[in-house]
Chain A
């Protein structure tokens, strides 16, 4: 008995399978958009925080240092950095993520400048690290450096680490690269106490530098106080 061939079944199954794939794609996009919304919301909060701190700082002449918020760089900024990095690698919408990354870099720079001013004026114990990295393909040690800095940040709550993607297309970041003379061939690069360190820096060597930074700060804050006397 020769068999009847049933084309219709193959076509129907094809469309059902396509429908299932489109559903999976839709659900995936839905979650990606939710994540992007979450990122935007965190950024808006940070933006308000920074603006608020700037305003507080402007009022410093009228207010005492006691009123200045202790931590300008909220832990949210670190959290946002991790999430943006993850999104860059895992979410499909690169234009949107790039835009958010640029905005994030700008917020970091503003926060860095402000925190540094407040720290020196009000004697808040803090240390600052600028960290420049690039993609894993072009920088085999960047992942290790990121891990080491995260670990140190957990150890010292007063340590503020600002991470910048070398390829960020933002004039402010480009200006920083120019100031510290950072080249893409010498990544990862870390700036601490205005000293540029290139290549992977282990936890121990950075630990010493961070403690030096704390001591330096204590000295700087002591000098004006002594002067006043």
Chain B
């Protein structure tokens, strides 16, 4: 048991060191701009907004897009109503007079079908999409477009930031998203980004002309398109100073549902693209990103088993203690002695691992805010994710073996508290 745990901890530390070495090597190349910039030229960009049940947030999303610092005649918006059951239609109709906005309706078919409908009528050389619960910073598009000066860059992912966290669950996600900015930038340096997030990743239209539209892809089409691009040696970049604010789940249940879909999608997409694994011609996505993703999933399961095993032993010991000496003596008669402090190798390796995770989180935060900032969010993140993530990972593995998919539409319906037909 301990042997397997050590192997997984070694691999987990290896992944963290890999990121750290990349950071030390490339840190001077991390570009974070604070002032507005001007581009040499402004190519046309279409933003598709696939909507389902977003009547409360869609207005903010559209307004943030209209406020983008980008020539108005070069920016087109396509709102695709994916058979919403709420008052979305009424809300988006208010924008139908705007000549830059096109509104399309269709029967509910899932997010990728809505984006594909928008792609069919896209005429600009660049295209992206934005989920209707996300909002863009006014400089985001210009900053992203600078990465397309490199002719080989085919897509650029933005930095996702949690919009106004209101409780501990959202606070924990804020810390996680901050860390993801660092991880994503390091993966971009390595050419190993495995997902072009739904909110505001911008693609050359050529990508879809060459490789075809989005696919169903286990409800994680943004992962599938990234893997398909890697298979065809298309370069994906990350723009750390293009900020996109997104509303994240605010309860454990909705967070669980969302992550179940993500992890399930990752496992299934990785299996669908298993031909990429350990093939030299695909570079770091083949040797690092995909294997390390799989290792992370398995590590969490094994570490969780170890923690559960120790916790159960601890509980059994306490129960024995209480049964023999009674409740009071069991808890109030112990004294601390440093001698009994666990100094096994695994403890110090775990300290190294946790320190490196906190370090990457702080670097991500520095990339976003310009300074290292320690906050309670980090503590929430460590605790909440350590406890809950093994459950969605276990369930995702279980579902993956049975090909039982979660649905984007159903996830939103449940979040909104609607009755869902099974």
Chain A interface (Cβ < 8 Å from any Cβ of B): 1-6, 9-10, 12-14, 16-17, 20-21, 23-25, 27-28, 31-32, 35, 38, 83, 86, 90, 143-144, 147-148, 151, 154, 202-203
Contacts and interface: CB of A to CB of B under 8 A. Distances in A.
Contact of B339 (A6, A38, A148, A151): A38
B14 A3 contact: no
B376 interface: no
Closest 5 CB pairs of A and B: A3-B283, A31-B343, A24-B348, A28-B345, A151-B325
Nearest to B234: A1
B233 interface: yes
Contacts, number: 84
Contacts of B343: 27-28, 31-32, 35
B233 A1 contact: yes
Given A1-B233, A38-B339, 14 more contacts: A1-B152, A1-B235, A2-B281, A3-B191, A3-B282, A9-B18, A13-B21, A20-B352, A27-B348, A28-B344, A35-B339, A86-B340, A147-B324, A148-B325
Contacts of A203: 324-325
A17 B233 contact: no
B280 A86 contact: no
Nearest to A31: B343
A151 B284 contact: no
Interface stretch (B92-100, B111-119, B315-323, B395-403): B315-323
A111 to B, nearest CB: 21
Interface in B305-348: 317, 320-321, 323-325, 329, 333, 339-340, 342-345, 347-348
A203 B329 CA distance: 13
A24 B349 contact: yes
Interface in B343-401: 343-345, 347-349, 352
B256 interface: no
B319 to A, nearest CB: 10
A31 B14 CA distance: 25
13 contacts: A1-B233, A3-B191, A3-B281, A6-B284, A13-B18, A16-B17, A17-B13, A17-B14, A20-B349, A27-B343, A31-B343, A147-B321, A154-B333
B10 interface: yes
B342 A90 contact: yes
Contact of A21 (B18, B329, B333, B349): B349
Contacts of B13: 17, 20-21
Interface of B is mostly: helix
Interface string B136-170: 00000000000000001000000000000000000
Nearest to B283: A3
Given A24-B345, A38-B339, A154-B333, A3 B324 contact: no
Given A13-B21, A16-B21, A28-B348, A147 B320 contact: yes
A38 B18 CA distance: 39
B324 A14 contact: no
Contacts of B317: 143
Contacts of B347: 28
B287 interface: yes
A13 to B, nearest CB: 5
Contacts of A148: 324-325
Interface residues of B, number: 35
Nearest to B13: A17
B281 A151 contact: no
A48 B340 CA distance: 25
A97 to B, nearest CB: 13
Contacts of A86: 339-340
A23 B333 CA distance: 36
Contacts of B21: 9, 12-13, 16
Q: Looking at A28, A32, A202, which has the most chain B CB atoms within 10 Å of its CB?
A: A28
A157 to B, nearest CB: 14
Contact of A4 (B283, B320, B321, B339): B283
B420 to A, nearest CB: 43
Contacts of A143: 317, 320
Contacts of A90: 342, 344
A210 B398 CA distance: 57
A113 to B, nearest CB: 28
Contacts of B320: 143-144, 147
Interface in B1-59: 10, 13-14, 17-18, 21-22
A10 B287 contact: yes
Interface in B240-275: none
A87 B14 CA distance: 31
Contacts of B349: 20-21, 24
Q: Looking at A2, A13, A31, which has the most chain B CB atoms within 10 Å of its CB?
A: A13
A14 to B, nearest CB: 7
Contact of B10 (A1, A4, A17, A23): A17
A123 to B, nearest CB: 31
A113 B281 CA distance: 78
Nearest to B350: A24
Contacts of B233: 1-3
